[in-house]
Structure 1
Amino acid sequence: MANGLELHNYVGHLIRRAEQVHTGLWFRHVSRDITSQQFAALNALRQEPGIDQRTLAHHTSLDRSTINQMVRRLTDQGHVSQARDEDDRRRTLLCLTDEGAELLDSLIPAAKRINEQLLESLPENERGLATGILRKIASMDDAPLGDTG
């Protein structure tokens, strides 16, 4: 019989726990109504207005069905507007509404603070390294299978 894993050394467990910490901080200090994933979508639309859902899904690393539900919810809440692409009527282009832009502006300072709070749990000389490592792990599915870069 195989020994159990030492969870304090198991990367998947640690990533899940780190996400739990982030979610708790988000809920307490940023928003109980807008999730960090919705924030990412609003932020992506601020950076690139007029993108379609597929592009938004790519920018936020969310699957198409999740982004579809999220866009519907954000549209119903008045934070996102949708318009048909005049060049390709099959595409729907997304933009922040004025209300969505105001909401995003109100969330950004608290989101920055919890990001700083998470990084402050590390020695200053390890913060950039930790962010770089997480970025590499997060982008693993962007590389062709078997390519570890």
Structure 2
Amino acid sequence: MNDKAKQWIDRYLDVYQLVTRRISAEMREHLGEDLTNDQFQVVRLINSMPQCTSSQLADTLAVGKSSITAIVNRLVDAGILYRTRDEADRRQVYLALTDYGTSIFESAQEQVRNIISPYLKHFEEKDIEMFISMFEKLGQLMQESGGRKN
């Protein structure tokens, strides 16, 4: 690895840490008692995935199944999620939002958008689109091959 690549990686890590810490802190402050940051991510994924399972959540979030189970149990106990079993395979358990969970998610989603949107006014639309497209490409590479294929 050359020096330029090392500098890019260090810059990426520095700004990633700063941005994620700041956004997480603001989310904690604004989401308050409704959802933790981790719970918000889980609820957001369940909202976007029909017939979502705990295994899918663990894979998508790159965390252990026990961590997901603990989060899901708290969300079920809070009335935000419910579990259903597949009629054909009773071992398969799907997760879905309750009506209350949907309202909590929509409120939290709006709060997160309100946290991030003021920063966007400092950039041109084409720059925002380019940044998001490049970040999506990085995410896709990480999901597919770990970025190790040429």
SS at match of 1:11: helix
- 2:149 maps to which residue? 147
The CA deviation at 1:20 is 0.8
Distance in 2, Cα, partners of 1:77 & 1:100: 9
Amino acid at match of 2:127: E
Distance in 2, Cα, partners of 1:135 & 1:24: 23
1:1-149 aligned within 5 A: 10-29=11-30, 31-33=31-33, 34-58=35-59, 60-63=60-63, 64-145=65-146, 146-147=148-149
Q: Is the 8 A contact 1:7 1:13 kept in 2?
A: no
Unaligned runs of at least 5 residues, structure 2 = 1-5
> TM (normalized to structure 2)?
0.77
Q: Is the 8 A contact 2:57 2:68 kept in 1?
A: yes
- Taking only the aligned residue pairs, the percentage that are identical comes to 22
> TM (normalized to structure 1)?
0.77
Amino acid at match of 1:21: R
Amino acid at match of 1:54: S
- 2:3 maps to which residue? none
Q: Is the 8 A contact 1:53 1:94 kept in 2?
A: yes
The CA RMSD measured in Å over matched residues stands at 2.6
Q: Is the 8 A contact 1:7 1:14 kept in 2?
A: no
Q: Is the 8 A contact 1:51 1:95 kept in 2?
A: yes
- How many residues end up aligned between the 2 structures? 142
Distance in 2, Cα, partners of 1:140 & 1:67: 24
The CA deviation at 1:26 is 1.2
Distance in 2, Cα, partners of 1:135 & 1:66: 25
Distance in 2, Cα, partners of 1:122 & 1:78: 39
Query: Using a 3 Å threshold, how does the CA distance of structure 1 residues 69 and 62 change in structure 2: closer, same or farther?
Result: farther
Q: Is the 8 A contact 1:50 1:93 kept in 2?
A: yes
